[in-house]
Structure 1
Amino acid sequence: MKKALLIATVLLLGSNYGVAQASRYGVRIGANISSISSDDIADDFDTGRIGVVVGFFAEYAFNEKLSIQPEIQYSGQGNKEEDLRADYIQVPILFKYNFNHIFNIQLGPQAGIKIWEWEDNQNDNVDFNTFDYAVVGGIGVNITDNFFATARYSYGLANVFDDEDLGISLDGNNTVIQLSVGYRL
C-alpha cells in the first residue's frame, strides 16, 4: 500500500509524463453515511454517522472511455456514538470507465490514515488502528463539462479497532456511502 500511496502522490502532483493523453484537476465535497460493520458492537451503538468528505483529484484519460483518478480527501467516518468516531485522510485510486459523456463507473483501492478519533478522558475508549484500507466502487454523472455528481460505496478491508490496551477482542470494518458533487478545471 505504501507503493500505491507514492504512486498516487506522484500522479496527483502532476507528474503524468507518458501516462495519459489528457489531464484535468478538481475538487469534490459531499456527505458520508458511515458505520462500522461489526458483530462486536452492541445494537445501541450501531447507528451510522453522517460526516463530511472534501477532496482534491487529478484525472488522467488514457482514451475516451478509460481514465485513472487519484485523489486525496478528508473523510469523517464511524458511528453516531462519539466513542466510535474517527476521521481519515484517504488516497483512493479509481479507474473510471465512461459509458458516454454523461455516465461513468469507478472502481479501485483506497488507503487511509487516521488523523483524529474521539477521546473521553473519563472512560476507557476503544482505540482505532492508524491505517485503513478499502475497496471503492461508484457511479458518476457529468452535469456539465465541469460539474459532476458521484455516489460511491467503500468497504473497509482492515480491522478498524486497536484493542490491545483494553485486553478485549473487537473486529469491525468501515462501510461508507458517499454522495458528493464536484468541479473539474
Structure 2
Amino acid sequence: MKKSILFIAAMVFSTTFVTAQEFVYFGAKGGVNFSTFSGDGWSDFEDESARTAYHLGLVAEIPLSDRFSIQPEVLYSAQGYDIVEIEDGNDLEHKLDYVTVPVMAKFYLVKGLSLEAGPQFGFLADHEIGTGENDVDVSDDNINKFDLSLGLGASYKFNNFFLYGRYNAGMTDIYDIEGVEAKNSVVQAGIGFLF
C-alpha cells in the first residue's frame, strides 16, 4: 500500500510540474483537524464527539488563469472520533489516520481570497483505539483501507503565506459492516507557505 501512495503522490506532483513548469508554486501546510463521523447504524454512539488532531503535508498550486488554479496536495491526516468522553482525562478515541491526496479547484473571488472544491483520496495508514496511553491496534478486517471525500473550503493568501479552512465530507463508509453507514466528517483549519 505504501508503494501505491508514493506512486500517486509522485504522479500528481510530476504531472503538475510538467504541465505548468514555470508557473507551479510548491509549499507546505499544516493545521488542526476536528473529525467525527456521519451516517446511520451507530445507536450506541448517538452523542459522538469530534477527535481533535492534526494534518501536515505538501502542496502545489498551478495557476491556469488569473482567477483559477488547481491545487494538488499530499497530507498525513489524523482523523477518527471520540467513543467515550472522559471527564478530567483523555477521551477514548478510535484513531483513523490517513495519507490523503486532495485535488482542489480554486477560484479567486478577489486578490488573495479563493473558494476551493474537489475530491480527496485517502489511504488508511494507521488505526487504533485508546486514550493516547497504551493504545490498542484493532483488526483490519472490517475497516475500509480507501476513503473518498469531497472537500469544500476557502483560503486567503498574503505574500507567500496562506490561511485556510476546509470541510471534507466522506463519500465512502469507514467500516465494511452490513447495516452500518459511518463516513468521515472532518473540519480542517491551518496555515501554509508557498515558495
Please tell me the TM-score bracket, short chain as reference: 0.7 to 0.9
CA displacement at 1:60 relative to structure 2:
0.7
Partner of 1:132: 147
Q: Of 98, 117, 135, which aligns to 1:107?
A: 117
Aligned 1:56-67 pairs, distance under 5 A:
56-67=58-69
1:102 Cα deviation from its structure 2 partner: 1.9
Gap regions ≥5 residues in structure 2 = 1-5, 84-91, 130-134
Seq. identity, %: 27
Give the letter aligned to residue 121 of structure 2: A
Name 1:169's counterpart in structure 2.
Answer: 179
Query: d(CA) in 2 for partners of 1:114 and 1:155?
Result: 16
Q: Is the 8 A contact 1:21 1:61 kept in 2?
A: no
Specify whether residues 25 and 111 from structure 1 end up closer, same or farther in structure 2 by C-alpha distance, changes over 3 A only: same
Structure-2 separation of matches of 1:121 and 1:102 = 44
Q: Give the secondary-structure state (helix, strand or coil) at the position aligned to 1:118.
A: strand
TM-score (norm 2): 0.80
CA drift of 1:19 comes to 4.2
Equivalent residues of 1:106, 1:139 under 8 A apart? yes
2:23 corresponds to: 22
Is the 1:83–1:126 contact (alpha carbons within 8 Å) kept by the matching residues of 2?
A: no
- Distance across 2 between alignment mates of 1:53 and 1:14: 24
Return the TM-score normalized by structure 1: 0.84
Contact 1:45 1:79 in 2 (8 A): no
Distance 1:85 1:99, change over 3 A: same
Aligned match of 2:86: none
Which blocks of at least 5 consecutive residues in structure 1 are unaligned? none
1:98 to 102, 108, 112: 108
Residues 86-95 or 10-19, more deviating: 10-19
Q: How many angstroms apart in 2 are the aligned matches of 1:43 and 1:176?
A: 17
Native 8 Å contact 1:45 1:80 kept in 2: no
The alignment of Structure 1 onto Structure 2 pairs a total of residues equal to 176
Provide the alpha-carbon RMSD of the alignment: 2.7
Structure (1 or 2) with the greater strand fraction: 2
- Between the aligned partners of 1:7 and 1:125, the Cα distance in structure 2 is 22
- Of the three residues 138, 143, 161, the one matched with 1:147 is 161
Instruction: Check 1:74–1:104 CA distance in 2 against 1; reply closer, same or farther (3 A cut).
Output: same
> Which residue does 1:116 correspond to in 2?
126
Instruction: After superposition, give the CA deviation of every residue in 1:81-103 in whole Å (9 maximum; x if it has no partner).
Output: 24532000000000111112220
